[in-house]
């Protein structure tokens, strides 16, 4: 999705933005930040718990099904008049109920594991939480929290989650405010929607770079220890 030409465009934008500030900007794009296994498990558990009562409410009762199956099987082999004791019948009903729950759990969990279905079923709050954690992990991994003046910024986008988050160190966040970050987030989102993520990142870098230059202008040449390339996870 990101070509080498795109990388050069993003690198040029980052280099230009950092030339006017002592701050650092890092761009990160991930295909997905989590497989959300708990969503599939929750779907399976819900189906196993809710499914059997719903089936019975629709008029399908385990006892009736059991007798029908037994009647069909005994007629095939030429026997008739087969009965069950109350204990045996109860045991078979409970076993059948447990088997039904297991089947419903498996089918629902497998269905919910399909990427498109899982995306719909995953709560937006969970997606935002996972993306936030992934963004902070990259913030720490790249060492932005150790920059001089605490003016590091990470622009993070998760494609599958369709979420963009921008993290700024405390040194700049208090001065810039949310308006700038919201504009930068929208720039990346617009780029993703237009199938041109590179242009979205470039615009976001320009917005963040202008904010950094305004509040933390360059005090002279400084070492650039971080790569200007977009990090693809």
Q: What is the pLDDT of residues 114-150, one digit of tens each?
A: 888 888 888 888 888 898 888 888 888 776 655 555 6
Beta carbons of 129 and 135 less than 8 angstroms apart: no
**What distance in Å separates the CA atoms of residue 155 and residue 39, rounded to the nearest whole number?**
27
Is residue 100 helix, strand or coil? Answer: helix
Q: Topology of domain 4-34+123-232, per CATH?
A: Diaminopimelate Epimerase; Chain A, domain 1 (3.10.310)
**What distance in Å separates the CA atoms of residue 95 and residue 50, rounded to the nearest whole number?**
17
Task: Fill in the DSSP letter of residue 22.
Answer: S
* Mean confidence (pLDDT) of the chain: 79
Enumerate the CATH 3.10.310.50 domain ranges in the chain, comma separated. Answer: 4-34+123-232
Percentage, residues of the chain above pLDDT 90 = 11
pLDDT at position 76 over 50: no
Per-residue pLDDT, averaged over 46-61, amounts to 77
Q: Measuring CA to CA, which residue among 128, 137, 61 is closest to residue 97?
A: 61
Q: Measuring CA to CA, which residue among 163, 166, 156 is closest to residue 125?
A: 163
pLDDT at position 70 over 80: no
For the segment 189-226, what is each residue's pLDDT rounded down to a tens digit?
998 888 888 899 999 999 998 888 888 887 766 656 67
């Amino acid at each position: 999705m990101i070509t080498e030409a795109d990388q050069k465009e993003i690198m040029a934008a980052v280099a230009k933005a950092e030339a006017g500030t002592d701050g650092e900007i890092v761009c990160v794009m991930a295909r997905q930040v989590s497989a959300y296994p708990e969503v599939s498990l929750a779907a399976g558990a819900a189906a196993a718990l809710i499914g059997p009562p719903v089936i019975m409410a629709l008029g399908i009762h385990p006892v009736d099904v059991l007798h029908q199956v037994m009647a069909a099987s005994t007629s095939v082999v030429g026997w008739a008049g087969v009965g069950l004791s109350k204990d045996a019948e109860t045991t078979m009903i409970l076993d059948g109920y447990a088997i039904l729950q297991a089947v419903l759990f498996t089918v629902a969990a497998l269905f919910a594991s399909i990427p498109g279905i899982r995306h719909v079923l995953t709560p937006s709050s969970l997606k935002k939480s996972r993306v936030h954690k992934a963004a902070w992990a990259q913030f720490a991994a790249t060492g932005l929290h150790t920059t001089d003046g605490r003016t590091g910024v990470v622009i993070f986008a998760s494609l599958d989650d369709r979420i963009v988050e921008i993290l700024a160190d405390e040194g700049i966040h208090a001065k810039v405010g949310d308006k700038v970050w919201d504009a930068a987030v929208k720039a990346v989102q617009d780029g993703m929607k237009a199938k041109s993520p590179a242009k979205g990142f470039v615009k976001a870098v320009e917005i963040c770079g202008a904010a950094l230059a305004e509040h933390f202008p360059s005090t002279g040449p400084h070492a650039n220890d971080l790569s200007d390339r977009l990090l693809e996870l």
